[in-house]
Structure 1
């Protein structure tokens, strides 16, 4: 049984949009994220975006921060708070990711895979160095590099990752790589946010299908009303 959310949470949220409405009355901007690299972007409250696996079986580390003061990264998406609200279960369509201030930050509005991970940290430089792979790219470094544009100064300021398209055995008995070409996860921003993604560079033990590939981020920004 999931933890009971505040009774008025869903009353406070707008009606759940349909996937077909993603392209309606919105300006779409597509960003290509090269294999084994990262990308950061801002999204206004009420806008939506999709993280798209272009080739299949590619994990994407995802992080988000409430976009207040550019140099402050205190309130951020927390997988621990999200697990609490969802009783350890990954979010279903219509459910939210939560911040470390116990506020919903993003809502899942479409999901073609429904297999993701909220338990593992991002891979980091020392992980590869201990395996004798000095200089190997990592999700932590990718996201830190991408977030420097928004004022991040230390790699330790990165958040806990929501590992999109990553299958973990305690969630599912599906094969390790669950996403297919064109699969996506779509979010609606419930706050003004800065998000960052990394096309995970982990290429060992068959992870990521054994080959790191490009992914895409598509942002749907609402068009200004003409009325």
Structure 2
């Protein structure tokens, strides 16, 4: 049970539309599914008002998620920020109906369904040097996965990646160890409140039993209104 003091809880934006029902995801929509290979990344655009699922196909697979407002032209300046999100959520994970915020103090996504309700907003993405220091040269990483996926959107340096919302990552007390929370078929659903470019990574961290000790593919399903 989450407990928030009344004087620190921040109100939701007053102009949010009514929370959609789970059944409406497939009603009068066109569905597009993409399988993301294990230990790799994928970038995709979503329009304001559309919804999408990030699905753990086999269980215990962490998914790093980042996003940028799709301005015209696309600049990647305004991005999803876990720091702003933690402020608005008083440091806890988003519940259904709550939002992920940008570094421009705007809500970017709303959580509209969630079968796990355990995620992380504290850890950075794993990165190439992290593995190199362990003697694992050439090991894939979330930072590299998302950088590769975002190159078609103009990203030219791995340091341009954003702060990750680590879907399905169970890290109480900042402890990174095997505490898998997601089961096969579990998902989180987001509603885009602005046009956005998103990127996901099937996290390649396969040490100490994290990710169940075996990296697996994930799926992204986008529902666009007809």
Which residue of the partner structure matches residue 124 of structure 2? 121
Which residue of the partner structure matches residue 184 of structure 1? 187
TM-score (norm 1): 0.93
| Kept after mapping to 1: 8 A contact 2:58/2:183 | yes
Which residue of the partner structure matches residue 151 of structure 1? 154
Structure 2 CA distance for aligned equivalents of residues 187 and 148 of structure 1: 24
How far is 1:47 from its partner?
0.2
Structure 1 CA distance for aligned equivalents of residues 51 and 181 of structure 2: 23
What's the C-alpha RMSD, in Å, of the aligned pairs? 1.6
TM-score (norm 2): 0.94
| Kept after mapping to 1: 8 A contact 2:112/2:191 | yes
1:47 aligns with 2:73: no
How far is 1:120 from its partner?
0.1
Structure 1 CA distance for aligned equivalents of residues 63 and 193 of structure 2: 21
SS at match of 1:29: strand
| Kept after mapping to 2: 8 A contact 1:35/1:199 | yes
State which of 189, 194, 197 in structure 2 corresponds to 1:194: 197
How far is 1:169 from its partner?
1.3
- Structure 2: any 5+ residue segments left out of the alignment? none
Structure 1 CA distance for aligned equivalents of residues 210 and 90 of structure 2: 27
Which residue of the partner structure matches residue 134 of structure 1? 137
Structure 1 CA distance for aligned equivalents of residues 162 and 31 of structure 2: 27
- Structure 1: any 5+ residue segments left out of the alignment? none
| Kept after mapping to 2: 8 A contact 1:115/1:171 | no
SS at match of 1:148: helix
SS at match of 2:151: helix
Which digits, 9 at most, give the CA deviation of each residue in 1:57-115, with x for residues without a partner?
A: 00000000000134511100000000000010000000000000110000000000000
How far is 1:6 from its partner?
4.6
Aligned residues: 220
SS at match of 1:20: helix
